Structure 1
Amino acid sequence: MITVWLPIMSPWKPLNRLPSPIELVRQFTPNWFTVNMGTGITFLLLAQFPARIAGLHALAYGLFIADAAIFALFIGLFAARWLFFTQDAMPLLRHPVQSMFLGAIPMALIPLVNGLVLFHPGQPAAAELATHLWWIDAALSLLTGWLVPWYQFTAQDHSLERMTGVWLLPVVPAEVAASSAGYLAQHLPAAQAQALIVSGYALWGMSVPIALGILTVLYLRLALHKLPPKELGVSTWLSLGPIGTGAFALLTLGAAAPQAFADTVMAPVAALAGPLGVIGALILWGLGLWWLVTAIALTAIQVRRGLPFNLGWWGFTFPVGVYTAASLTLGLRTGMAFFTAFAATLIVALVAAWAVVAVRSAHGLWHGHLVQAPCLSCKPELPAKTA
């Protein structure tokens, strides 16, 4: 008599949808770092909410600590996959979708870097740790920005019809690091700030123009081949990421440059960085507004068709969050209340989206049904035993 072993489907038993708990390691993908991206931008914006609300800052700090712990856990799981399941991890680099999410790793680190100086202002140790982590993040951003496109150009199978906003993920981390460079530079001595600002502008140049080119191709793809599959329906929101971060980076770098380069040969150029940054951010903000309205309209169509939940739903958080950060900063730099009110509205919507996606992602991780590695050629089978 042949019987098949099945896991006990208890709601209190973790990973009960997986054949074995070790599958959490073998099938852990970089998609999970979008959890850190979404949580990170949420606590950063909550801590800077325009209205003072009792307990809001404490809540933001709690999310910061939780996000740091989750990031450490995910780094451990991802490293363990490469260490103990190297042959199963290698196909990730050739997968046309999963490989793109390698860019989520450096983008997940930046909110923690910024959080160190935001929640520990005036503490040299926090600023020093943040600076070291920033340089690590910049290196990772450059690695993904070159490595993933190299595989995309030489080893992966792509077509215009299958193209989505996911293509943006490997190139955007550089501009995310650039925005952080301007933010950190305002808390550092001039010599350190100068290095970060110069590096930040270079990183911006290695990311934003390429991202805008990808958005142009994405527009063409949507016109010719219509909406992406419902499983990738949320990917349209990713277009807000490079636009919002590009604008935010111009604002932070422009704010930091004049003080950092005062009394240097770069002082006249640095003095222009602030006003030019505002102008550039306003232009990008307008472009982002077009994509925001478009993403809402296209998502409404996808919802009517049936939008299945997956980790892609984190696309509702980080891209909206960085666009919100740009809006909030424009309000401060221009003195126009409209931008501040608009940002506050988006923060409320962001928190609501984060709560829904976080709960459903935690449920999927606990039970294991969201732990899937499409890059693996075959799925593990349930072990059978003979009675």
Structure 2
Amino acid sequence: MVTAVRPRPRPTPTALRHPALRHLGPHWYACVMGTAVVASAGAGLPWQPPGLRAACAAVWALSLFLLVTLLAARALHWRHHPDQARAHLLDPAAAPFYGCLAMALLSVGGGALTVGRDWIGVPAAVALDAVLFTAGTAVGLAAAVVVPYLMAVRHEIAPGQAAPAWLLPLVAPMVSAALGPALVPHLPAGQPRETLLLGCLALFGASLLATLLMLPLVFARLLTGDPLPPALTPTLFLVLGPLGQSTTAVGNVADVAPGVLPAPYAENLTVPAVLYGVPVMGFALLWLALAAAHVVRARRHGLRFSMTWWSFTFPVGTCVTGATALSRHTGLAVYEGLALLLYGVLVTAWAVAAVGTARGVAGGRLLAAPR
């Protein structure tokens, strides 16, 4: 008598585990950035209507939830779909979005100290910001080196393919420069504070000079090549990121410098903050008008909602914080009005992007990287 032996069930292939996460790219961190900046920019506005700060605290809590959820989902993505994860790094359309991871960590950490402390308390906010700032700065510096290196030696890029998304890994250190000064007062007096503040200035310089090298390529693409495809046209707003964030950075450094840096330096930083911020904010408004005109044209040529619409959020938010910094240092009502106007644009853009993303997720779309 022969007993039939049932074959053992074959283990589930790794590629079949969590199939919905296979195409979850790093561009999804833009949702976290765009949500966190609504909270931090709103909390810093020169005019605070009743209930605004409480609403900003709730939005920050949402950004923290989104960050934790995406970090877990991306960890599963790397574990179960390592081939696709490596493909993202080798894809010139997806690799620049690794800068979004750094900026998501930084923006949520900065929001904890700005408005999240109302819910979790100052000690917990400082600890959370310190962890996320350290991690975000390390990831941002790595992205600022690794992504351009891969673009140079591994990616196949034609001269006319320059895209605004190329700025993403280069802007991440500027976000550290803008948010780091808030941590300075929580460090021991003396060299720890001075080191962090001067480190923020070094990050400011690294990001600014790298952006000045990359931005002409993007502008030349607009003038000499074909217009961006409709789906990518919203990414033109990404250029506002380094402009608004650098204005915010110099303003925040100038606010913290007294009592941290030696007197000759600390007393004079407000002047360059204004002399730098005013013309840069002027160029930001010029670019905002140019980008908006391109979006209107793309809308007529079939622009539909995609994840690139999150480009309307974080970059505009940096212009809100930049205008707020200028209003503090100049006392001009025009910058207060500009900050409030841009914040209205930011909230509207965030609401549209959030609703569109929720609908896309419910319909099983929006996972592929923007192209």
Instruction: Assess same fold via TM > 0.5.
Output: yes
Deviations 1:99-156 (A, max 9, x none): 1100000111122111222222782342233123212211111110001111000000
Corresponding residue for residue 209 of structure 2: 209
In structure 2, distance between residues paired with 1:51 and 1:200: 28
Quickly say closer, same or farther: Cα 1:373–1:345, change in 2 above 3 A: closer
In 2: Cα distance, 1:374 partner to 1:36 partner: 17
Task: Name the amino acid aligned to 2:70.
Answer: F
Residue equivalent to 2:180:
181
What is the distance in 2 between the residues matched to 1:281 and 1:186?
24
- What are the residue-to-residue correspondences of 1:228-243 with 2, within 5 Å? 228-243=228-243
2:20 paired residue number: 24
Whether the aligned pair in 2 keeps the contact of 1:162 and 1:228 (CA below 8 Å) is: no
Displacement of 1:186 after TM fit?
4.3
Distance 1:210 1:325, change over 3 A: same
Asked if 1:92 is matched to 2:91, the reply is no
Structure 2 Cα separation of the partners of residues 324 and 226 of structure 1 = 31
Residues 113 and 130, structure 1, Cα contact 8 Å, conserved in 2 = yes
User: Per-residue deviation at 1:21?
Assistant: 8.3
1:1-387 → structure 2 map (5 Å cutoff): 22-119=18-115, 120=117, 123-191=122-190, 192-261=192-261, 266-372=262-368
Secondary structure at the aligned position of 1:53 is classed as coil
Letter in 1 for 2:194: Q
Give the deviation of 1:323 after TM superposition. 1.0
The Cα shift of 1:50 comes to 3.2
| Conserved? CA contact 1:250–1:277, under 8 Å | yes
SS at match of 1:190: coil
TM-score in terms of structure 2 length: 0.90
- In structure 1, how many angstroms separate the alpha carbons of the residues matched to 2:48 and 2:310? 27
Q: Which deviates more, 139-148 or 287-296?
A: 287-296
Instruction: Report which stretch shifted further, 28-37 or 109-118.
Output: 109-118
Give the Å deviation of 1:67: 0.8
Secondary structure at 1:260 match in 2: coil
Q: Judging changes above 3 Å, is the alpha-carbon distance between structure 1 residues 210 and 310 closer, same or farther for their aligned structure 2 residues?
A: same
**CA RMSD across the alignment:** 1.9
User: How far apart, CA to CA, are the structure 1 residues paired with 2:76 and 2:369?
Assistant: 15
2:108 and 2:132 in contact (8 A); partners too:
no
Give the partner amino acid of 2:172: P
- Cα pair distance change 1:124/1:138, threshold 3 Å: same
Q: Is the 8 A contact 1:29 1:98 kept in 2?
A: yes
What is the rounded CA distance, in whole Å, between the counterparts of 1:214 and 1:374 in structure 2?
20
Q: Distance in 2 between matches of 1:280 and 1:170?
A: 23
Deviation at 1:294, TM superposition (A): 1.0
Distance (Å, rounded) in 1 between the aligned partners of 2:355 and 2:370: 23
Deviations 1:28-53 (A, max 9, x none): 10111000111011111222333332
- Structure 1 residue runs of 5 or longer lacking an equivalent are 1-19, 376-387
Which structure ranks higher in relative contact order (CA pairs < 8 Å, sequence separation ≥ 6)?
Answer: 1
Q: Scaled by the length of structure 1, what TM-score is found?
A: 0.87
* Residues 258 and 273 in structure 1, CA contact (< 8 A), matched pair in contact too: no
Question: Partners in 1 of 2:355 and 2:188 — Cα distance?
Answer: 41
Distance 1:227 1:58 in 2: 42
Distance in 2 of aligned mates of 1:49 and 1:132: 26
- In structure 2, the residue matched to 1:381 is none
What is the identity, as a one-letter code, of the residue corresponding to 2:239? Answer: S
Q: Judge conservation of contact 1:127–1:188 (CA < 8 Å) in 2.
A: no
Instruction: Name whichever of 79-88 and 32-41 sits farther off.
Output: 79-88
Structure with greater helix percent:
2
Whole-Å Cα distance in 2 between the matches of residues 189 and 364 of structure 1?
Answer: 47
Deviations 1:65-102 (A, max 9, x none): 11101101101111111112112211111101101100
> Secondary structure of the residue that 1:309 maps to in structure 2?
coil
Of 198-207 and 272-281, more deviation after overlay is shown by 272-281
- What's the CA shift string for 1:10-32, capped at 9, x where partnerless? xxxxxxxxxx8822221110111
- Structure 2 residues not aligned, in runs of 5+: 1-15
Give the superposition deviation at 1:270.
2.5
Say which is worse superposed, 298-307 or 118-127, in terms of deviation.
118-127
Q: Work out the number of aligned pairs and report it.
A: 353
Q: Aligned-pair distance for 1:193?
A: 2.5
Which one-letter code corresponds to 1:364 in the other structure? G
Distance in 2, matches of 1:350 and 1:102, equals 23
